[in-house]
């Protein structure tokens, strides 16, 4: 199993790359190619749009890679996602794409184009508290599709998105078909009034109303609401599901943390 790491959003920390290389070496069951583009920096991004796109297209087109692992989130993959999907090389269809958070823009477009994508931990997660377990979970899934790495209640076709990313891809060419899927959402570093506003937007979408149900992962690092919002993130999601005729399926085991599980898109897992 050969795994390419590229950074379509923000710059990978060198200490994360080093820690990941040590883990992969100890495992001995896969080979990691961390693209030099991961360490570029241009304003907010891991290099200019052109460099991030070129690295992504390079590894997509390389038949020697079995997987493309997005280095980290942050912001920026939406700026290159449409161009990444133009004239897809055949080799792009024979590999799996793993990541979460901002990578959701790519997940939407890649899944829509028929490619295999999954939500799951990313290389930069290794520097989190407990991060070795997170990247080990991702590698266990990539290398041997270990079922213990999966979100435990998957039951039929599923997708997972950061809620704010999902809101920003609705109505764009990156929007996939949500019909009949269990839609798992999570968020991080938002005020509850923003979660409410984003749920209004997402739940008002006719495309989203075609899901089988919505399940809520962790909403971490909630920013202080002034005044107190008057309800929890779960209350908010349940409220908008009820108003919108969407089934609310309760909690999901995903989030911006080391416990984040794997959610393969569009199938039972």
Give whichever of 73 and 123 is closer to a second copy, judged by the CB atom: 73
Dist. CA 248–CA 240, nearest whole Å: 9
Region of 20 on the Ramachandran plot (φ > 0 left; ψ -120 to 50 alpha; else beta): alpha
CB of 226 to a second copy, least distance (A): 9
Give whichever of 68 and 174 is closer to a second copy, judged by the CB atom: 174
Give whichever of 49 and 62 is closer to a second copy, judged by the CB atom: 49
CB of 183 to a second copy, least distance (A): 16
CA quadruple 55, 59, 61, 67: dihedral sign: negative
CB of 142 to a second copy, least distance (A): 28
CB of 37 to a second copy, least distance (A): 17
Dist. CA 235–CA 18, nearest whole Å: 41
Structure token digits, residue 67: 């997987």
CB of 182 to a second copy, least distance (A): 21
CB of 254 to a second copy, least distance (A): 21
Dist. CA 135–CA 266, nearest whole Å: 22
Give whichever of 181 and 192 is closer to a second copy, judged by the CB atom: 192
Pairing of strands 116-119, 158-162: unpaired
Give whichever of 2 and 239 is closer to a second copy, judged by the CB atom: 239
Q: Which residues bind a second copy (CB under 8 A)?
A: 41-45, 74-76, 78-79, 167-173, 192-194, 196-198, 200-201, 204-206, 225, 227-231
Give whichever of 149 and 168 is closer to a second copy, judged by the CB atom: 168
């Amino acid at each position: 199993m050969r795994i390419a790491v590229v950074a379509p959003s923000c710059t990978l920390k060198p200490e994360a790359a080093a820690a990941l290389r040590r883990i992969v070496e100890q495992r001995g069951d896969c080979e990691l190619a961390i693209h030099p583009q991961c360490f570029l920096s241009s304003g907010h991004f891991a290099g200019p749009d052109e460099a991030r796109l070129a690295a992504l297209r390079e590894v997509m087109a390389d038949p020697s890679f079995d997987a493309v692992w997005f280095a980290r989130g942050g912001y920026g993959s939406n700026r290159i996602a449409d161009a990444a999907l133009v004239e897809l090389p055949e080799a792009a269809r024979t590999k799996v794409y793993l990541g979460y958070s901002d990578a959701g823009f790519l997940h939407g477009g890649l899944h829509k184009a028929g490619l295999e994508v999954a939500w799951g931990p990313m290389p930069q997660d290794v520097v989190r508290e407990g991060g070795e377990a997170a990247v080990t979970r991702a590698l266990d899934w990539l290398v041997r599709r270990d079922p213990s790495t999966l979100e435990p209640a998957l039951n039929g076709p599923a997708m997972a998105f950061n809620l704010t990313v999902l809101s920003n891809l609705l109505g764009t060419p990156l929007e996939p078909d949500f019909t009949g899927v269990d839609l798992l959402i999570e968020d991080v570093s938002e005020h509850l009034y923003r979660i409410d506003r984003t749920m209004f937007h997402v739940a008002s979408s006719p495309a989203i109303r075609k899901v089988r149900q919505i399940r809520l992962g962790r909403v971490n690092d909630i920013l202080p609401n002034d005044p107190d919002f008057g309800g929890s993130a779960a209350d908010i999601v349940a409220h908008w599901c009820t108003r919108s005729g969407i089934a609310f399926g309760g909690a999901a085991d995903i989030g911006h943390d080391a416990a984040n599980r794997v959610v393969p898109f569009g199938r039972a897992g």
